[in-house]
Amino acid sequence: MISQAAFERLREEIAGYGAQLVAVSKKVEPARIMRLYEWGQRAFGENRPQELRDKRPALPDDVEWHMIGRLQTNKVKYVVGRTALIQSVDRERLMAALQQRAEREDITQDVLIEVHIAQETSKAGMAPEEVAAFFEGGGDARYPNLRFRGLMGMATYTDDMRRVRAEFRALRKLFEQLERGRPGFSILSMGMSHDYGVALDEGATMVRLGSLLFGRRR
């Protein structure tokens, strides 16, 4: 686990870019999440809806939960109205399920669209062209209880930082194209432990760090 001093330096570095840190706490037990909480961290990201549901009661109410993992439509009840931001919206069928649930709860749910920018086909996300067409065709208006706050993406897992940079740059470009004339569309979530420096450099407004904070996951 990171030391408090190193954590504070990291937070300053991220704040220097005007960006926000989401601490990815998947597979991390509540006691260690609490350490970061005590050092002032409030935004935590989980990738499994049931894990999020089970951890929530063990942590203070003002934790701001982010859903960052693949979401099945039958699990939306665990996250809608219970998360500050659902970052992993990667298909219209999921939007429809989220919309239905948010409408039933009479709330507006903040979401990001996950964009597929990596080479690996195993990674999730809508194609960049698909995302552009979705917004330009007014697709977001079909989901009045969802507030589209921006984009999320994961670069290819590689040591080739030129490739990573090119992928982040392409995502930033799409973000800038969509951001125009869309108030509230202001979040670009990109960058993980091994590539967050490049992501910040390329204009991330939010980074999602797990292993750098908590150590390697089991």
Ligand X SMILES: *Cc1c(COP(=O)(O)O)cnc(C)c1O
Would you tell me which residues interact with ligand X (CB under 6 A)?
24, 26, 47, 68-69, 154, 192-194, 208-212
Distance separating alpha carbons of residues 112 and 174, to the nearest angstrom: 13
Beta carbon of residue 117, minimum distance to ligand X (angstroms, whole number): 12
Distance separating alpha carbons of residues 16 and 205, to the nearest angstrom: 11
Beta strands in the chain (DSSP E): 20-24, 43-46, 64-67, 85-89, 109-116, 146-154, 187-190, 206-209
User: Which residue in 141, 129, 205 sits closest to 174, CA to CA?
Assistant: 129
Q: Is the dihedral of CA 98, 101, 104, 106 positive or negative?
A: negative
- 40 CB-near residues (< 8 Å, 6+ apart): 11
Closer to ligand X at the Cβ: 186 or 211?
211
Beta carbon of residue 47, minimum distance to ligand X (angstroms, whole number): 5
Distance separating alpha carbons of residues 30 and 187, to the nearest angstrom: 27
Q: Which helix (H) or strand (E) holds 32?
A: helix 30-38
Beta carbon of residue 218, minimum distance to ligand X (angstroms, whole number): 12
* DSSP 8-state assignment for residue 56: G
Which residue shows structure tokens 């499994």?
48
